[in-house]
Structure 1
Amino acid sequence: MASKTKVLITGATGYIGGSVLNRLLQRSDLMSSLDIRVLVRSPEKAKKFEQFGFTPVIGSHADESVVVPAVSEVDILIATTDCDNLEAAQIALKGMKKRFDSTGKQPVYIECSGTGVYVEQSGGMHSTDTVYDDANPDQIETLAPTQPHRNVDLEILAADKEGYIKAYFILPPTVWGIATGPLVDAGLVNPHSRQIPVLIKACLQHRRGGMVGAGKNVWNNVEIHELADFFIILLDAVLNNKAGLGHGREGFYNTVNGEHTHYQLAESISKALVELGLGDNPTPSTFTKEEEEKYLSFWAPFYGTNSRCLATRAKALGWNPKKTTDDVLATMKTEIDTLVTTKRIDSIGPV
């Protein structure tokens, strides 16, 4: 009997990583044919993950003594933890190099990066005509190494170019929606994103939808379960050695569908707050500099940026997301109500 392909997933308790695992639980063929390992910090949660058929590895993604041996034992790493942690990526690459040296076969590194790599500052005062296409590696290579996430992406790209890994990059934009599934029900996985809840918390304290500048800046969006679907599509393609599947500079996948201005987002939050009795005005307002510092802290400039891109390569692989900007705007009332009633809003940073 052939040995099972070994897969390690970091960020297993997180919003994205946990959603990927919930999608895997829906695929009995993958659950039976793969040896799926999950990196978790908590021994208590590790035991619960084991009950779902996953093999736990206890430790942090930045703990070299744990990660190097764990990665050196697997064929595929799906990293969903922190796309700005260069040290963690370097540690993972050490494990992958060890795997390559011992087997002569390139392990696969699937990195969850983000469309934050495309940001440009506008202070919320205008949009941009610059749109990055994931099928245009020459355009992506024009990005400055100082862009968010880019130093980590470049480190992984260098390893791919050196030839000891095959690297694939999944770039989510603003991810929205409340995650669902057995792992959420078991209390193992965070069901909320960070980007929108941070803004919601600021608006709750403001008692009104707020934005940086005029809110004319534009970002793409994607629903959490449709994002998780793409991870499985890419994993299937890797496992089946899909013809023409590029990696490295040809392995970037923008997982985007809709596009929204930050004014639209602030307005939908403002209206929802009024409907829930938590706000005073359905029309959003611009945060003052003092309010930006008070409510958004170091995140404030980020909410005034543009990040626009196309999912040409991702959709060519068979990904077919259905949820649009209208859907994300329509969910704000439910998102706010859930965050408040469960008190999860209290643990949302940075404010």
Structure 2
Amino acid sequence: MMRWFTPRPDSLLGQLRSPLYVRWQAGLSLYAIVGLFQGPLATGHFNWQWMGPTLLAVPVYLYLYARVYLGPLRQLEWHAAGIAVLGTALWCVNTAGFILPMMAGILLAYSPSWRHWLSGVAAITLLALAKVWLLGGELSLAAGVGLAGLFGGFSNVLYMHSARRDAELRLSQGEVRRLATLAERERIGRDLHDLLGHTLSLVALKSELAKRLALDEPARAQREMEEVERVARHALTEVRAAVTGMRRSDLAAELVSARLMLEASGVALEGAVPEGMALPEHIEAPLALVMREAITNIHRHARATRASVALSIGGKGIDMQIGDNGRGGLAAHGNGVSGMRERVRALGGTLSIDSPPRRGTVLSIHVPPPARASAVAPLPAVAAGPAHLPAAGSAA
């Protein structure tokens, strides 16, 4: 039974990943069924001439309506056309039957082609005019069918344009991540091959030589094994250094990741890492984590449309400023802010927040020059992971 209400992958809800807006609209629009009964009953005329056909039409309408959202998207226009024909036929015996052609015009706006939507609304309007012309009825209702399809469907057209653009952006982001992951795997493979290939071959050769010399020339075999130990320890040191470099967070990578995250949620990010900017790892890694925390909070809580990141380095030290035009009101002593302050304080720097309500947030960080910052004790390991910013404010 439940599979009847499960969207197909190629359906309207399936392709848009069942967005809340469409699901709510689908549920609220079902109240059109109430109008099919309320209209005739409000006039005080109850008889089976309209009640019987209406009762028969409702299950057909519900099936076609469900198929619009759950069926293949390529068949959406046919299902909407079926609703229009059904409603026009019902209109002949039920004065409220014009509601269904109206709904058909609005549902057509979910079509992938806005031209098909406009053509469909025009065809439904002509069908309504033909009913009024041949069988009688109010001309204003026929005109209202077309206007409802236009004005009611226009918001759906705008929403679908935005939703499809977001879906394409998510797909492109996924492809970028996939290619980046593939390139990183290839790089790591090359590095490990270059790093360990020669060393392990040398260890194997010297171990084989020591095995052959163990009985005849024990002293020489011992020297060979000492050489194997030295080479192995050297290789271990190089591997550790390489892994540390792979795990390292850097500002340029965080800025790219931030741009992908914010643009996916409709927030334009401005800013870039200055050309030739090079910072010691013990400074760059904490600053990258602070940037990550701030950007994550903008994405989750700020409700902004624009954000910016500014980086500069000079004789007085390093300055980083992250801002947004969101709702502001960032708490000054929340867990997330405390985590950022600890990272900056460990570098001997300062962090200030300007976050007036409804006027955005600006987070300013100043870190002393690397020579002075290096004298400060490193941040304890407990603060290495990104802390969650409070939901009460925007993040910058």
Instruction: State whether TM-score is above 0.5.
Output: no
Give the number of the structure whose residues are more often helix, by fraction: 2
- Identify the TM-score tier after normalising by the shorter chain: under 0.3
Q: Which has the higher contact order (CA 8 A, sep 6+)?
A: 1
Larger Rg: 2
Structure with greater strand percent: 1
